[in-house]
Structure 1
Amino acid sequence: MILSRRTLLAALAASASGAPALAQQAPEAQLVPIELVEDSLALPSAVRLGHKHGDVIMIEYFDYNCPWCRRSAGDLPALLKAEPELTYVLVNFAVLGIPSVTAHKAALAYLQLHGPERYLDLHLALFRLRGTVDGERALKEAERLGGDRGRLEEAANGERTTQWMKDAFTLGNSLGFVATPSFLVATQSYVGGMTLAQKREAIAQARG
């Protein structure tokens, strides 16, 4: 998988130690074409959570080595509880270097083998890890949750996983997502971290 150097450096900068400043102000909303939202929902790797047919759809592009993505994952159970009519969609978006690429390959392998119903457990488990999350650590968590090591490795290194990652990366670039996490709420995009309260405000605005 070829990563855009511009995107990678921008994402690294956004996720550096200065990122908590985002807590003071939500990212600026930008209107995006509905076709790109639909393309995001059509990604085979997209994991739908919450309401199956929610009145608002929120899509998060994330990286397992992004500090703000970790905070977002920590807020996810509370968000789903507070917003029962929300459809929340996770998109694996490995932009923070080779460890992230290998971690996401392992995560997508688990998704292929065990389905979206069990994916959230792995998602939250990987964000509970401290330090760099790479393929080996992701595989260990997947094994702990019942995955078979051999089958996981085979799927992680398969063409389907590679294509899923390329498709997400291409679409993220088309959306202008130069940092993680980045969000789509209806047809508005938000590039950068958002607090739980900021997410709920964006959802309320989408409801009009």
Structure 2
Amino acid sequence: MKRFLATTILALGVAAPAVAFDVNAMSDDERAAFRAEIRAYLLDNPEVIMEAVEVLEQRNSAAEAANDFNLVSQYGDSIFEDGYSWVGGNPDGDVTLVEFVDYRCGYCRKAHDDVAELVNSDGNIRLIVKEFPILGEDSLLSSRYAIAVKQKHGDDAYKLAHDTLITFRGGVTDASLTSISESLGFDAVELLAHMNSDEVTDEIRKTRALAQALSITGTPTFVMQDQLLRGYLPLPQMAALVDEKRTR
């Protein structure tokens, strides 16, 4: 009897099938006895609660994955073909990896070398970087500078600036950006002026709008083909996901 009652309640609370069962139809004494039986069973078998929680978490994860899949499908053009984000790796690669990055994000910095190794060792990954500054003024200035470099000097120059900024540890100021410009052979006056242009602002605005539509609130966030990957993933896990995409 105890197992039946507990199973019934767990089914109602976790699986929520269409069951003709109305506790309110019981008398007060019947309801009290029913609840006592359930409580006693759960105290004797607490592992049942953990099993139910695990099932619920699995269902929530599946629902989130399905929602992310739909979001990527809906906004695919903006994610993969926006016409302004930097594209590296193999432009004709059979797997596309998109990264939303903030230069002041510790996990973005940790992911940087892993992503570079993955792309270089694989040789068939198309990499897209989206500037998504969310961690304050230094983040915003860094992204403005990187975008200005790309707009003024092209993709190769952007890659140099991107790699420099992701490892830069000092404060981001006009002086430090001037020093970076000089070290990379760029005209600092031109870039500092262009950083605040409408063209740069518009690119940041469009990426932020896309992130909001995709419910992206942190960095790094990746999109790999049809899947959103929220947060840092170690290199072996990223490589395994690439292999998985290719076998579908």
Q: What TM bracket, shorter-length normalisation?
A: 0.7 to 0.9
Task: Provide the residue aligned with 2:201 in structure 1.
Answer: 162
Task: Provide the residue aligned with 1:96 in structure 2.
Answer: 135
Give a deviation string over 1:147-190, Cα, whole Å, max 9, x none. 10111012111100000000000001111111100000001001
Tell me what 1:83 maps to: 122
Q: Which residue, 173, 177, 181 being the options, matches 2:220?
A: 181
8 Å CA contact 1:64, 1:100 repeated in 2 = yes
Query: Is the 1:65–1:132 Cα contact (8 Å) retained in structure 2?
Result: no
Q: Distance in 2 between matches of 1:103 and 1:178?
A: 19
Pick which of 31-40 and 84-93 moved more. 31-40
Quote the residue 1:13 is aligned against. none
1:43 to 70, 82, 87: 82
Deviations 1:104-163 (A, max 9, x none): 111110111111122222211112222554565344323321110111012111100000
Gaps of 5+ in 1: 1-27
Query: How far apart, in 1, do the equivalents of 2:145 and 2:178 lie?
Result: 6
Q: Quick check: 32-41 or 101-110, which moved more? A: 32-41
Match of 1:193 in 2: 232
Paired letter, 2:72: P
Cα distance change of structure 1 residues 41 and 186 upon mapping to structure 2, 3 Å threshold: same
The alignment partner of 2:229 has SS state of strand
2:173, 2:136 → 1: CA distance? 10
Q: Which moved more, 1:191-200 or 1:58-67?
A: 191-200
Pick one of 80, 91, 110 that aligns with 2:149: 110
Q: Per the alignment, do residues 172 and 140 of structure 1 end up closer, same or farther by CA in structure 2, a change over 3 Å counting?
A: farther
Distance change (3 Å), C-alpha of 1:135 and 1:61: farther
TM-score w.r.t. structure 1 length? Answer: 0.80
CA contact (8 A) 1:44 1:164 kept: no
Bigger mean CA deviation after superposition, 157-166 or 136-145: 136-145
Percent identity, aligned pairs only? Answer: 25
Please say which of residues 36-45 and 185-194 is displaced more in the overlay: 36-45
**What count of residue pairs does the alignment treat as equivalent?**
181
| Matched ranges for 1:115-126 at <5 A | 115-126=154-165
Give the match for residue 9 of structure 1.
Answer: none
Matched-pair contact (CA < 8 Å) for 1:45–1:108:
no
- Structure 1 window deviating more from structure 2 (47-56 vs 193-202): it is 193-202
Q: Which has the higher contact order (CA 8 A, sep 6+)?
A: 1
Structure 2 CA distance for partners of 1:138 and 1:45, relative to 1, 3 Å: farther
Report the counterpart of residue 153 of structure 1 in structure 2: 192
Please identify which structure carries the higher helix content: 2
Instruction: Quickly say closer, same or farther: Cα 1:177–1:42, change in 2 above 3 A.
Output: same
Q: CA distance change for structure 1 residues 136 and 42 in 2, over 3 Å: closer, same or farther?
A: farther
Q: Which residue of 1 aligns with 2:182?
A: 143
Distance (Å, rounded) in 1 between the aligned partners of 2:187 and 2:213 = 35
Structure 1 pair 45/141, CA: closer, same or farther in 2 (3 Å)? farther
The answer on 1:128 being equivalent to 2:180 is no
Answer yes or no: is the 8 Å Cα contact 1:94–1:104 preserved in 2.
yes
Report the counterpart of residue 106 of structure 2 in structure 1. 67
